[in-house]
Amino acid sequence: MKHSTPTTTVAPVLSVEGLSRDFNIPVPFLRRLVPGRPRPVFRAVTDVSFEIPRGQTYALVGESGSGKSTIARMVVGLTRPTAGVVRIAGHDLFAPDARDTRQAMRRRIQMVFQDPQASLNPRWRVEAIVGEPIRAFGLASGRALAARVAGHLETVGLSAADARKYPHEFSGGQRQRIAIARALASEPEFIVCDEPTSALDVSVQAQVLNLLRTLQSDLGLTYLFISHDLAVVRHMAQRVGVLQRGILVEEADTKTFFAGPKAEYSQMLLSAVPKIRKGTDE
């Protein structure tokens, strides 16, 4: 008689269930005085659910305004959902008694924003920018802090000497490397990449994407990758979710999705990806 070996299930790093977010629409002051008139509401995200296993990349794709960045802000705790649950390593991020949990999770969650020029303080030297999370979470101080900053800069392909410079002294790709170094400074497990290459030159995008993949392999990071560029998603993600007007219309592993998306909207997005054809001798 054969005995089945019990299997243990590991909780995903991120689990999103029934996530929705409403925003109030501004109305003229006099209309607000009309009794019984409900205030208009815009629903940016509607009942979205997905999860990301440890060490993998989940890509959310869709056109501008589809709700991708709103979801990103909710999963890192910057925006509270109207409905639904966000779990990080099994912990409900927005539970009524989860204030201490959110504080504990802050070090484990980081975000890389779209525009590195806007996300870096122009008045701070790089040593202060990258060192801020290290100081905030009490990970090091003094010479140990400086050594950590230098190490993170070298990890992302910059020099330790760059710590004394200001953001305006770098190119766009280098500034995004500084932003990635800052995200690594708190030693996170989960990073949200919100269009991290869309503001960069095409020649630099591949370098930053390859850096993110190398860091994921070396450090065991888990990514939520926000993008509208399916060519980038194909390179980065193991699983794809397609958002249309705040609704998750399709979800599949990357190979299955690119072999033949089922939703009409997904097919439209895929058809818009430029295709390179070999020339002929005719």
Strand, coil or helix: 188: coil
Residues 134-177 pLDDT 10s: 999 999 999 999 999 999 999 999 999 999 999 999 999 999 99
Q: Which amino acid is at 77?
A: G
CB contact burial 193-202 (16+ within 10 A = b; e otherwise): bbbbbebbee
Q: What is the pLDDT of residue 10?
A: 58
14-23+40-271 carries CATH number 3.40.50.300: yes
Q: In angstroms, rounded to a whole number, what is the distance separating the alpha carbons of residues 234 and 265?
A: 17
Q: What is the pLDDT of residue 212?
A: 96
Q: In angstroms, rounded to a whole number, what is the distance separating the alpha carbons of residues 5 and 76?
A: 37
| Domain map (residue ranges) of the chain | 14-23+40-271
Q: In angstroms, rounded to a whole number, what is the distance separating the alpha carbons of residues 161 and 226?
A: 32
- CA-based nearest residue to 74, from 112, 45, 99, 53: 45
Residues 29-44 pLDDT 10s: 666 666 767 778 899 9
Q: What is the pLDDT along the chain (282 residues), one digit of tens a residue?
A: 444 444 445 568 999 999 999 998 877 766 666 676 777 889 999 999 999 999 999 999 998 889 999 999 999 988 999 999 999 988 888 888 767 777 777 888 999 998 888 899 999 999 999 999 999 999 999 999 999 999 999 999 999 999 999 999 999 999 999 999 999 999 999 999 999 988 788 889 999 999 999 999 999 999 999 998 888 999 899 999 999 999 999 999 999 999 999 999 999 988 877 665 555 444
Q: What is the pLDDT of residue 271?
A: 85
Q: What is the pLDDT of residue 270?
A: 87
Q: In angstroms, rounded to a whole number, what is the distance separating the alpha carbons of residues 201 and 231?
A: 15
Q: Cβ(188)–Cβ(76) under 8 Å?
A: no
- CA-based nearest residue to 71, from 93, 91, 56, 86: 86
Q: Is the pTM of this model over 0.75?
A: yes
Angle between helices 172-184 and 142-155 (to 10 degrees): 130
- CA-based nearest residue to 151, from 191, 185, 107: 185
In the 8-state DSSP scheme, what is residue 41?
E
Q: Which residues contact 263 (CB under 8 A, 6 or more apart)?
A: 242, 244, 249, 250
Q: In angstroms, rounded to a whole number, what is the distance separating the alpha carbons of residues 74 and 226?
A: 13
> How many of the other CB atoms lie within 10 Å of CB of 182?
25
The backbone torsions φ and ψ at residue 58, rounded to the nearest 5 degrees and listed phi first, read -110, 125
Look up residue 159 and give its two tokens: 């020099």
Q: What is the pLDDT of residue 33?
A: 66
Q: Which residues contact 25 (CB under 8 A, 6 or more apart)?
A: 39, 40, 41, 42
